[in-house]
């Protein structure tokens, strides 16, 4: 059963700072604090967008581009991995759709 929603921006920033400081996963900190992880994740995305719109520099995050070997797959030419996510695509991918997918993955 999910916990309670994050009350406000101050609480969200405190919880996100705790996640960063302790090195635990967001969901683990939320579980320990009885907070709904979806609520905190939404705050995280909104705060990141707000900083980007305000022109604040957001620290870049490493995204690894892996070109699969032929024996791995013939359907996809490229694979982008970020954390637990992997996005596979070929050279005919719609650039705008790929941009949206990669942006969504990068916020996780």
pLDDT for residue 63 = 59
Claim to verify: residue 48 and residue 17 sit in the same structural domain: yes
Domain identity same for 76 and 45: no
- pLDDT by residue for the chain (108 residues), tens only, comes to 578 899 999 999 999 999 888 888 888 999 999 999 989 988 888 888 887 777 766 566 665 666 656 665 555 577 777 777 777 887 788 888 888 887 777 766
Provide the pLDDT for residue 33: 92
pLDDT at 14: 93
Residue carrying structure tokens 């581009």: 65
| Residue at 58 is within a domain | no
CB 36 within 8 A of CB 4: yes
Q: pLDDT value at position 64?
A: 62
Name the domain count of the chain: 2
Range of the structural domain that residue 34 is part of = 9-53
Task: Render 34-102 in DSSP notation, one character per residue.
Answer: TB-HHHHHHHHHHHHHHHHHTTPPPPP---EEE---TTT-SS-SEEEEETTEEEEE-TT--HHHHHHHH
Is residue 36 one of the residues assigned to a domain?
yes
Residue 1 lies in a domain: no
Q: Is residue 73 part of a domain?
A: yes
Whether 78 and 98 share a structural domain:
yes
**91 located within any domain:** yes
């Amino acid at each position: 059963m999910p916990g309670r929603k994050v009350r406000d921006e101050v609480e969200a920033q405190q919880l996100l700072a705790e996640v960063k400081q302790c090195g635990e996963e967001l969901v683990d900190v939320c579980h320990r604090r009885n907070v709904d992880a979806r609520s905190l994740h939404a705050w995280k995305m909104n705060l990141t967008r707000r900083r980007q719109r305000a022109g604040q520099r957001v620290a870049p995050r490493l995204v690894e581009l892996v070109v699969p070997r032929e024996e791995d797959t013939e359907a996809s030419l490229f694979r982008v991995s970020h954390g637990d996510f992997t996005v596979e695509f070929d050279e005919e991918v719609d650039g705008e759709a790929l941009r949206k997918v990669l942006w969504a993955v990068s916020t996780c």
